[in-house]
């Protein structure tokens, strides 16, 4: 047993550091963004009219403060490790370093990837692949990212899978999130391996190897349907898909959505999905969070809202205490992030 696995020191008001297994730190500034001229009516329209306008408008300075705000909000939720999926087609090179540095500044662990896509032609795909490779070869912690099969040609899928295999990491990819990606599972079959992160898997028509990352709030928000993760043979972890990193909240949502589908569902199932984060990000298992509530038990937490961390320890260092981060000035991060949000919205209006 490693020190990280030894939980005998945990008191009734403590847990290990929580893990968000799918995040988009670039979207932390999206709230309040200018609305599309027409309300999108499909998942594809939500992507093209909201997210692809936003990611196009990002630059590295906006990204830095978006990531710092996202990391700060993770600590506020007792989340010490994030598995991030990034896209900024106008500012690709160096983007993963910006995210890693922003998280380091706040004291949150991060696993980075750049979501490769053919949406911006072969040069855009090549630049995305190169950013993954550059970051990972330099010793960065991460995956090789793919946006989703439906925005990539077969050559790009093959290149990403090949790079990941060569570097000994998995691929982090959205799979069958909406009906637009119905062909995705077929096209990824043969490439996917056990170390892949299969994000959403709502419309999966076959089993693929890898860990399914369930994002209940995002799936409800995009009206894509229920993923029924308990029906799958895969390991299942929980993510937020960029809507914060409050993993106790996501656990409660995962439980409530599961229970809506199956009245016999137990909170222990959703808790096991949350705990799967420690398989993906073992370092977080050695982090310690002291909470405002006890006992930190799934049957309590499923029905107890507003549980907040009192103290967060990452790698032996106190990074959150007395309602504030210790490495950064939380008020300054919020103010700078708000400034960058205004810049971002201005750039979105221009496009
Ligand atoms: Zn996502």
pLDDT at 351: 74
Give the distance (Å) from ligand 1 centre to CA of residue 221: 12
CA 289 and chain centroid, separation: 20
DSSP conformation letters of 203-253:
S--S--SSEEEE-HHHHHHTT-----GGGSSS-EEE--TTS---HHHHHHH
Give the distance (Å) from ligand 1 centre to CA of residue 293: 31
Q: What is the pLDDT along the chain (351 residues), one digit of tens a residue?
A: 565 668 889 999 999 999 999 999 999 999 999 888 899 999 999 999 999 999 999 999 999 999 999 999 999 999 999 999 999 999 999 999 999 999 999 999 999 999 999 999 999 999 999 999 999 999 999 999 999 999 999 999 999 999 999 999 999 999 999 999 999 999 999 999 999 999 999 999 999 999 999 999 999 999 999 999 999 999 999 999 999 999 999 999 999 999 999 999 999 999 999 999 999 999 999 999 999 999 999 999 999 999 999 999 999 999 999 999 999 999 999 999 999 999 999 999 987
pLDDT at 1: 57
Give the distance (Å) from ligand 1 centre to CA of residue 295: 32
Give the distance (Å) from ligand 1 centre to CA of residue 311: 29
Residue 269 CB neighbours (<10 A): 17
Structure token pair of residue 149: 């099969």
Give the distance (Å) from ligand 1 centre to CA of residue 242: 7
Angstrom distance (rounded) from CA 128 to CA 144? 9
Give the distance (Å) from ligand 1 centre to CA of residue 197: 11
Give the distance (Å) from ligand 1 centre to CA of residue 103: 18
Q: Is 200 helix (H, G, I), strand (E, B) or coil?
A: strand
Give the distance (Å) from ligand 1 centre to CA of residue 208: 18
Angstrom distance (rounded) from CA 68 to CA 108? 10
Give the distance (Å) from ligand 1 centre to CA of residue 28: 13
Angstrom distance (rounded) from CA 277 to CA 216? 15
Beta strand 197-200 pairing with 211-214: parallel
The alpha helices in 95-173, defined as continuous H runs, are 95-106, 121-137, 154-167
Give the distance (Å) from ligand 1 centre to CA of residue 16: 24
pTM of the full predicted structure?
A: 0.97
Give the distance (Å) from ligand 1 centre to CA of residue 86: 9
At 107, phi and psi to the nearest 5?
Answer: 100, 25
Give the distance (Å) from ligand 1 centre to CA of residue 199: 7
Give the distance (Å) from ligand 1 centre to CA of residue 321: 30
At 277, phi and psi to the nearest 5?
Answer: -55, -30
Give the distance (Å) from ligand 1 centre to CA of residue 218: 8
Give the distance (Å) from ligand 1 centre to CA of residue 8: 35
Please give all residues whose CB falls under 5 A of ion ligand 1, grouped by chain where several chains appear. Answer: 241
């Amino acid at each position: 047993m490693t020190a990280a696995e030894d939980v005998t020191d945990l008191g009734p008001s403590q847990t290990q550091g929580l893990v968000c297994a799918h995040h988009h730190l670039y979207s932390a500034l999206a709230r309040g963004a200018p609305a599309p001229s027409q309300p999108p009516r499909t998942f594809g329209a939500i992507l093209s009219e909201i997210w692809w306008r936003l990611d196009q408008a990002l630059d590295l300075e906006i990204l830095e403060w978006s990531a710092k705000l996202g990391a700060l909000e993770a600590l506020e939720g007792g989340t010490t490790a994030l598995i991030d999926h990034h896209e900024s087609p106008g500012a690709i090179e160096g983007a993963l370093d910006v995210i890693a540095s922003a998280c380091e500044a706040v004291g949150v662990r991060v696993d980075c990837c750049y979501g490769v896509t053919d949406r911006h032609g072969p040069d855009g795909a090549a630049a995305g692949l190169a950013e993954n490779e550059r970051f990972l070869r330099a010793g960065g912690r991460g995956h090789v990212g793919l946006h989703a099969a439906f925005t990539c040609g077969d050559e790009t899928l093959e290149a990403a899978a090949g790079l990941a295999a060569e570097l000994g990491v998995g691929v982090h990819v959205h799979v069958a999130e909406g009906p637009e990606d119905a062909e995705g599972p077929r096209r990824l079959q043969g490439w996917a391996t056990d170390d892949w992160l299969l994000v959403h898997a709502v419309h999966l028509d076959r089993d693929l190897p890898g860990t399914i990352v369930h994002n209940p709030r995002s799936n409800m928000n995009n009206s894509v349907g229920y993923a029924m993760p308990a029906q799958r043979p895969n390991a299942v972890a929980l993510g937020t898909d960029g809507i914060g990193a409050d993993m106790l909240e996501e656990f409660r949502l995962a439980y409530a959505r599961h229970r809506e589908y199956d009245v016999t569902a137990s909170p222990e199932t959703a808790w096991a999905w949350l705990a799967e984060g420690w398989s993906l990000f073992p370092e977080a298992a050695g982090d310690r969070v002291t909470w405002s509530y006890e006992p930190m038990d799934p049957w309590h937490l499923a029905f107890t809202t507003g549980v907040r961390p009192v103290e967060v320890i990452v790698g032996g260092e106190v990074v959150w205490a007395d309602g504030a981060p210790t490495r950064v000035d939380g008020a300054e991060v919020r103010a700078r992030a708000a400034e960058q949000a205004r810049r971002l919205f201005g750039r979105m209006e221009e496009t």
